[in-house]
Chains A and B, each alone.
Chain A
Amino acid sequence: MLSRLVLTSGSALKNSGSFGACVVQASRSIHSSPQSKAPLPPLPEKGGKIRHGIFPEELFSLLYPKTGVTGPYMLGTGLLLYMLSKEIYVINHETFAALSISSVIIYGIKKFGPGVAAYADKLNEEKVAKAQEVKDVAVARLAQAIEDEKKEQWRVEGRHMLFDTKRNNVTMLLETNYRERLHMVTSEVKRRLDYQVELQNLHRRMEQEHMVNWVEQNVVKSITPQQEKESIAKCISDLKVLAKATQARAAV
C-alpha cells in the first residue's frame, strides 16, 4: 500500500537515483540494436506474496515439503528463543521503544491501509484515464483523418466533370470574345464606309446647289428691264383673258 503511494508519486522514486524502472524499461528498448517496437508488457497486478508483512512466501513454500504448514512458525519461534536465551538479541530500553513504535505502526497500517490504498488507486486510475483519453482523442482524430482522406479520394474521381465544365466555360468565353471583336470590326468598317457615302452625297448636293444658284443668277442677270416690262404686260393681258373666261364660265 505504501508502495502504491510510492508508485503514484512514482516520478520522485523513479527519478531520484533509483532509475531501476527507467533502466529496465529503457533496457527493454536498448537491448538489441534494432529497437523492438513491441509494446511494453503491462505491470503485474500484485507483487510477490508476503506473509505477515515481512516474510516472503518463498520461505514458507521452501519449508513446506519437509515440515508442513507449521514449519516456518516453529523455525521462527525457535530462532527467537535461541536469540533471547543466548542474548544475541538483548532486551534493553530500545526493545520497548521498538515494541511501542511497531505496535503504533501496525495499528495505523491496519486501520488506514485500505483507505490510503484506495486513494492511491484512484490517483493511478486518473492518470491512466488521462493517458487513455489522450490516446483515444488521437485515435479518433486519426480515424477522422482517414475518413476525410477517403472522401478526398472519392472527390478526385469526379474531377473530370469539373474539368469539362471548366473547359466549356473557357470555350464560351473565347467564343464571346471573338464575336464581340467581330462585331466591333464590322461596326467600325460600316462607320467608315458610311462616312465616305455621306461625303459623296455632300459633294453632289453642293455641286447641284451651286449649279442651280449659278444658273438662277445668270438668268436673273439676263433678264433685261425691257424684257421685264414685256413679260409683265403679257402677264396682265393673260390675266384679263383668264378673268373673262372664268366670268363667262361662272355666268353659265
Chain B
Amino acid sequence: MADRPVPLAERRLMDVKLAELPNWLGKRDFTPNGLIRSVRGGYDRYFNKYINVKKGGIGGIAMLLVGYIALSYAWEYDHIKHDRWRKYH
C-alpha cells in the first residue's frame, strides 16, 4: 500500500507512526465544531459497521454496553475501592 505520501494531518490514527504521534495530535481539529464532527464521524463509522447491516448480531449493542459498564466502573472506582478484600497488594 505505498500510495503517494498522504499528508500527516489527514492520516488515520492507525496509520500514524508512533514518533509522529505528537505532531499528528497537534494537527487535529480541537475546535468545538471539529470535536463534534469527529464524534459524529466516529458514531457514524461504528453505526454503519456494526448496526446498519442486514444481519447484525448481538455484538453491535453488546460492545456499547460493555463499554458503558467499563466506563461506569472506572468512574465509580473511588467508591468501590472501599470494598477491597486486602489492604496491600
Contacts and interface: CB of A to CB of B under 8 A. Distances in A.
Interface of A: 1-4, 6-7, 18, 20-21, 23-24, 43-48, 50, 53-54, 56, 85-92, 109, 113, 117, 121, 124
A24 B81 contact: no
A121 B56 CA distance: 10
Given A20-B43, A54-B63, A87-B84, A113 B58 contact: yes
A86 B53 CA distance: 41
Contacts of B62: 50, 53-54
Contacts of A46: 53-56
Give the 9 A-B CB pairs with smallest separation, nearest first. A3-B56, A50-B59, A92-B83, A47-B53, A3-B60, A47-B50, A48-B49, A3-B51, A87-B84
A87 B51 contact: no
B52 A56 contact: no
27 contacts: A2-B58, A3-B51, A3-B56, A4-B55, A6-B51, A6-B56, A7-B52, A7-B56, A18-B43, A23-B44, A24-B44, A44-B53, A44-B54, A45-B55, A47-B60, A50-B57, A50-B62, A50-B63, A54-B59, A54-B66, A87-B85, A87-B86, A87-B89, A89-B73, A90-B81, A109-B58, A117-B55
Contact of B47 (A20, A44, A121): A20
Interface in B22-60: 40, 43-44, 47-60
A20 B51 CA distance: 11
Contacts of B51: 3, 6-7, 47
> Which of B44, B59, B85, B86 has the most CB atoms of chain A within a 10 A radius of its CB?
B59
A86 B89 contact: yes
Contact of A24 (B48, B53, B86): B48
B61 A45 contact: no
Contacts of A113: 58
